[in-house]
Structure 1
């Protein structure tokens, strides 16, 4: 930045030896007078070259450049007509600071997310810009912050400040900030991981350990999810990347799994009959994938004989799956009731009310009373 001012002064001295002071003054005054026309023409040419439309931000920065041209013109006029060395040195320092600020701002504007560089890069994208936009914006914003920081350091150096203390203090501050923002930075890194690996996209239905719903927005820090009850939650990216997440939108069907416990008092023939009736119903259900049906006497548990009913239902969306699941549960209850087996607790545990065994026990009690 300072080389720019030095080079400008050198070029001025070369030109001064060729043209008269009066002619140089006329050229400078002409440039200052028609600065708007000159800057607008150059800006329009650049925007057309990159096929970028003019925005309100662009207009504000055009005015900023126009004001800089006025300061540049005044500086050159002082170099031509003022012979006071001390005054020229002071004004040169002022002009250097203005030049540093101007160049810093122009560089920052060019690389901002809404700047020309960002728009040109998005035009050359491969169709994945929607997913990658947040991380790209983060990179641009980081670069802008670094640009302003460098500009600020150069301005301080121009005023003669000792930057050793600033750098040392910056090291302490950075360590403190790093500890304070550790979780925040982890979420940012997790967000970048999600955006690069793309395990899901906006509109997908995902399910985690403590949440499920439709993904509405993906940022570098959180994922916005609309749940089944139409509420909106923001889940930190760090939580999503450290636990198992199921992308429901990527599956074609859902699993139905139901364990039931039948007491040991029931006859084994009746257990087989119940299993066969449930299997027959599932095989005739058009929503059930027949090849996935598995009904097994799985375990002799303390709760009773454990029967597991597994199959896959041809419904990916959760509301429709729940409707089919409800119908299957009702049909299973009908089969159990038809065989005299009733549900008697909140758990899926079945108690035997088998009439045959009950009659046998009553007859045994009568024989015992009669002494037979």
Structure 2
């Protein structure tokens, strides 16, 4: 109340001295609004930095992913976070953006996923598929580096041109290079099994539509001239 009385008294005195108090107050209001707007982003980043520091969804050295950005966290300050991507680019992300976005902390995963979806030739027999799936399941079951739970090896889908296998499991490593080596290892294992069962991968197919003299259309589903074959390991 005392502050309001003081401001009112000061405005009367200034009016007596021919000061345009209304314009001054309006100017102060606009200036304050401009300052507030300019400080909005800074305050948002400051609070975002506090959220990141207190909640600790990641720390320096962690590998994180936010949208299309994935890399190693190199620095966290009150305004922004710096992330080093796989191609060594340094990305600076405002903390307000990080605080309001879904973040995947890859470093805190305890396993890595390996996933295959193989399209087999449509002529592959049921017995060939069953034997191939059985051998793949047995290989995964006896591998100590594969998590015993969440192993999926199935005939997943049948289309007009292929029979698709799904192979989905997790391995006990978080190291990126070790994960790549494991993927290569299981690629060769699956290739060996399919070769021994004489199973071919599905060849690309094309549909040719022709019209006869009566205007009737005919579809001819043909395999591409270059048939996709399994590579030899000899």
Flag whether TM exceeds 0.5 (same fold). Answer: yes
Please state whether the residue corresponding to 1:261 is helix, strand or coil. Answer: strand
Give the structure with the larger helix fraction: 1
- Distance in 2 between residues matched to 1:341 and 1:331, nearest whole Å: 14
1:335 paired with 2:190, answer no
Could you tell me which of 155, 159, 175 is aligned with 1:297?
155
1:266 paired with 2:116, answer no
Are residues 258 and 170 of structure 1, via their aligned partners in 2, closer, same or farther at CA, if it must alter by over 3 Å? farther
Tell me the CA shift for residue 333 of structure 1.
Answer: 2.1
Which residue of the partner structure matches residue 279 of structure 1?
Answer: 137
Which residue of the partner structure matches residue 77 of structure 1?
Answer: none
Contact 1:226-1:232 within 8 A present in 2 as well: yes
- Distance in 2 between residues matched to 1:208 and 1:191, nearest whole Å: 16
Tell me the CA shift for residue 272 of structure 1.
Answer: 0.9
1:79-118 matched pairs, under 5 angstroms: none
- Distance in 2 between residues matched to 1:179 and 1:220, nearest whole Å: 19
Which residue of the partner structure matches residue 103 of structure 1?
Answer: none
Contact 1:205-1:249 within 8 A present in 2 as well: yes
1:215-294 matched pairs, under 5 angstroms: 215-294=73-152
1:213 paired with 2:71, answer yes
Q: TM-score when scaled to structure 2?
A: 0.66
Which residue of the partner structure matches residue 82 of structure 1?
Answer: none
Please state whether the residue corresponding to 1:291 is helix, strand or coil. Answer: coil
1:166-205 matched pairs, under 5 angstroms: 168-179=26-37, 185-205=43-63
Please state whether the residue corresponding to 2:67 is helix, strand or coil. Answer: coil
Which residue of the partner structure matches residue 179 of structure 2?
Answer: 321
Tell me the CA shift for residue 235 of structure 1.
Answer: 2.4
- Distance in 2 between residues matched to 1:299 and 1:217, nearest whole Å: 46
Greater relative CO (CA pairs within 8 A, separation 6+): 2
Larger radius of gyration: 1
Is there any run of 5+ residues in structure 2 with no aligned partner, and where? 1-18, 205-226, 230-234
Deviations 1:124-144 (A, max 9, x none): xxxxxxxxxxxxxxxxxxxxx
Contact 1:188-1:237 within 8 A present in 2 as well: yes
Tell me the CA shift for residue 344 of structure 1.
Answer: 6.4
Are residues 190 and 266 of structure 1, via their aligned partners in 2, closer, same or farther at CA, if it must alter by over 3 Å? same
Are residues 311 and 220 of structure 1, via their aligned partners in 2, closer, same or farther at CA, if it must alter by over 3 Å? same
- Distance in 2 between residues matched to 1:268 and 1:177, nearest whole Å: 73
Please state whether the residue corresponding to 2:50 is helix, strand or coil. Answer: helix
Which residue of the partner structure matches residue 207 of structure 2?
Answer: none
- Distance in 2 between residues matched to 1:241 and 1:301, nearest whole Å: 44
Contact 2:70-2:85 within 8 A present in 1 as well: yes
Which residue of the partner structure matches residue 309 of structure 1?
Answer: 167
Give the structure with the larger strand fraction: 2
Q: TM-score when scaled to structure 1?
A: 0.44
RMSD value over aligned CA atoms? 3.2
- Distance in 2 between residues matched to 1:285 and 1:162, nearest whole Å: 86
Count of aligned pairs: 190
